[in-house]
């Protein structure tokens, strides 16, 4: 390890020691974007070009796995003849030669493909085809490593890889992608211009496309057509294996050739909003006023679970609200604070098809926030849905929960909030803050779930009284094969921890937090540490920065429709009964 790496590691250690001391001041510090720029200067990851050198001639790819021979389909229609010829030379220098190379198009003036472009017998009936845009720069071991990954993941219909971006011959960035996510793909087409597809699936798509008069426009479009028909698994190999020009990589997204993953429900299903609270009229009143004056959704009720409020102003507010608006119900719960129990108490009273958990320190900002949550929560493949939460100063407080990050509590691998502290209008890492996508978990400060799913899971786990109960709930839903979705279409204001204070503010709270974290990691450690939607090439110290060395390079497979992975890369099977039942 060089001097630069040693100095960076020392800076990171010092930074996280200070974070542990100053965490109670996060909402205050978040008001100053300069603080986050200083953080990024200390924690900048390795240079992309230098990082890619680890994949040089001495790259330790698995040598005991014989690669599957691949037929290469080179799409040269959107590229110049020089690009095509250079790509052909790169294919000739591969460590494992292709079975055959079929070229589609000969430059910008060529027409679309049809059956005449594929001579009889040119395409294999078994195995896989590697589809490659001629503008790509394949790694010298691309065919070898893709072929090995297909042997390691025999049920694969489609396989995509990571990539790097080029400006001329200079590497500008490395694009480390998540595991298969149909929502993120629908918005960004993130799989890119190179992928492997089962030959039988490819031939079927090509035959149907010819019959329907819909030839594929480019590799990304072809991936979408194949994915729509896929009955197998979609595998992600988290290894950068090709480069593409930055301008080409950021081209406009083509029109969607398949049905959107999520469609609005035909009618507004009834929604029950559950708000636990205690005192703090300065927070509760704006929260409730925003529900009544901002929310554009009509079919909702609100269940306010009062955890022993003593403030006379709050008591008066609740009495007047219950008299003025029949949509509001007040439940008294005079027991020691247990967030999970408060949620379960409210859910037992709820009559809606969709439950929305909402903190009393959250305010609605846009009329469509509830429609957005309900639209996703109504989908059969979706379990939990979370919102984009912003601090009062407009910086991001919650962009989804990411696993495999170091905890400021004890420095061990745990999880954290994605894009914390970025400006609210920032796109995030490759637009991940701007589009709806699958995540490991979302915060219970604003969480939507179908009532049937909530009941099937047995509600929130009351042994997690204060913290991590939302993460546990999302992971239990994932164990049933349901995706957790985060969407920026629901944007809310959040005065984080304003009602109770931060858990590290006193020794008693810190001790309780440590115990609940230990319980969560004992139950879900592998699932949290190996987040399928957080690329193993990323750092555990700084989110979305390249790690010095990746944590894993093996293929990660998911079915074409939803389903999480465990630490071994296998699909999580649903348990026969809920993991826990509230008392």
Listing DSSP states for 124-186 in one string gives -SSSEEEEEETT-EE-TTHHHHHHHHHHHSTTEEEEEEEEEEEETTEEEEEEPPPS--HHHHH
User: SS3 for 548?
Assistant: coil
Range in 60-64, 252-256, 469-473 with the lowest mean pLDDT: 252-256
Confidence (pTM): 0.83
Tell me the pLDDT tens digit for each residue of 426-473: 999 999 999 999 999 999 999 999 999 999 999 999 999 988 999 999
pLDDT above 90 for 329: yes
Residue count of the chain, please give it. Answer: 583
At residue 451, the pLDDT reads 97
C-alpha 147 chain-centroid distance: 27
At residue 389, the pLDDT reads 96
Question: DSSP label at 546?
Answer: B
- Average pLDDT rounded to a whole number, residues 360-378: 95
- The residue with tokens 């040269």 is 76
- Average pLDDT rounded to a whole number, residues 60-74: 84
At residue 32, the pLDDT reads 40
Tell me the pLDDT tens digit for each residue of 498-550: 444 445 445 566 777 888 888 888 898 888 888 999 999 998 888 898 888 77
Name the phi and psi angles at 54, rounded to 5: -65, -20
pLDDT above 70 for 568: no
Beta-carbon contacts of residue 104 (< 8 Å; ≥ 6 apart):
73, 74, 75, 76, 77, 113, 117
Range in 83-87, 493-497, 518-522, 569-573 with the lowest mean pLDDT: 569-573
Share of residues in the chain with pLDDT > 90 (%): 54
pLDDT above 80 for 583: no
- Average pLDDT rounded to a whole number, residues 36-52: 51
Average pLDDT, the chain: 81
User: SS3 for 50?
Assistant: helix
pLDDT above 90 for 21: no
At residue 569, the pLDDT reads 38
């Amino acid at each position: 390890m060089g001097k630069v790496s040693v100095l960076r590691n020392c800076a990171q250690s010092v930074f996280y020691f200070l974070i542990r001391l100053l965490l109670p001041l996060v909402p205050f510090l978040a008001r100053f974007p300069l603080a986050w720029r200083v953080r990024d200067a200390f924690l900048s990851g390795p240079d992309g070009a230098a990082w890619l050198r680890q994949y040089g001639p001495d790259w330790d790819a698995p040598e005991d796995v014989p690669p599957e021979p691949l037929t290469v389909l080179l799409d040269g229609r959107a590229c110049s003849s020089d690009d095509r010829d250079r790509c052909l030379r790169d294919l000739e220098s591969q460590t494992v030669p292709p079975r055959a190379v079929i070229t589609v198009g000969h430059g910008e003036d060529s027409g679309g493909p049809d059956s005449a472009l594929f001579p009889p017998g040119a395409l294999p009936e078994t195995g896989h085809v590697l589809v490659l845009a001629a503008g790509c720069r394949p790694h010298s071991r691309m065919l070898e490593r893709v072929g090995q990954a297909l042997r390691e993941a025999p049920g694969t219909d489609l396989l995509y890889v990571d990539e790097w971006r080029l400006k001329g011959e200079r590497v500008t960035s490395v694009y480390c992608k998540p595991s298969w996510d149909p929502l993120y793909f629908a918005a960004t087409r993130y799989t890119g211009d190179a992928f492997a597809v089962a030959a039988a699936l490819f031939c079927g798509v090509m035959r149907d496309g010819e019959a329907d008069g819909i030839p594929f426009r480019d590799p990304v479009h072809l991936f979408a057509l194949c994915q729509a028909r896929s009955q197998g698994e979609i595998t992600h190999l988290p290894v950068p294996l090709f480069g593409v020009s930055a301008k080409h990589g950021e081209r406009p997204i083509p029109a969607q050739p398949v049905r959107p993953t999520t469609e609005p429900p035909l009618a507004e299903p009834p929604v029950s909003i559950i708000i636990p609270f205690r005192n703090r009229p300065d927070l509760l009143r704006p929260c409730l006023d925003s529900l009544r004056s901002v929310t554009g959704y009509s079919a909702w009720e609100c269940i306010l679970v009062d955890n022993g409020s003593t403030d006379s102003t709050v008591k008066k507010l609740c009495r007047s609200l219950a008299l003025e608006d029949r949509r509001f119900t007040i439940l008294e719960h005079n027991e020691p604070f247990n967030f999970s129990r408060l949620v379960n108490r409210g859910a037992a009273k709820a009559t809606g098809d969709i439950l929305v958990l909402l903190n009393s320190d959250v305010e609605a900002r846009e009329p469509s926030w509830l429609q957005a949550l309900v639209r996703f929560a109504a989908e059969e493949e979706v379990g939990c849905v979370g919102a984009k939460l912003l601090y009062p100063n407009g910086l991001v407080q919650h962009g989804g929960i990411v696993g495999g990050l170091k905890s400021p509590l004890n420095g061990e691998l745990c999880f954290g909030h994605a894009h914390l502290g970025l400006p609210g209008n920032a796109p995030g890492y490759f637009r991940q803050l701007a589009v709806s996508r699958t995540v490991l978990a979302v915060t219970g400060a604003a969480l939507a779930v179908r009532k049937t799913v909530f009941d099937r899971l047995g509600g929130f786990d009351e042994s997690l009284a204060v913290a991590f109960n939302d993460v546990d709930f999302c992971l239990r839903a994932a164990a049933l094969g349901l995706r957790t979705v985060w969407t920026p279409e629901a944007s809310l204001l959040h005065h984080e921890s304003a009602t109770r204070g931060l858990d590290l503010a006193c020794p008693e709270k810190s001790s309780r937090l440590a115990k609940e974290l230990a319980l969560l990691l004992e139950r879900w450690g592998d699932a949290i540490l190996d987040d399928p939607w957080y690329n193993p090439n990323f750092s555990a110290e700084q989110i979305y920065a390249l790690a010095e060395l990746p944590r894993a390079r093996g293929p990660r497979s998911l079915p074409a429709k939803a389903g999480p992975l465990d630490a071994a890369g296998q699909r999580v099977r649903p348990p026969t009964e809920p993991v826990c039942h509230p008392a």
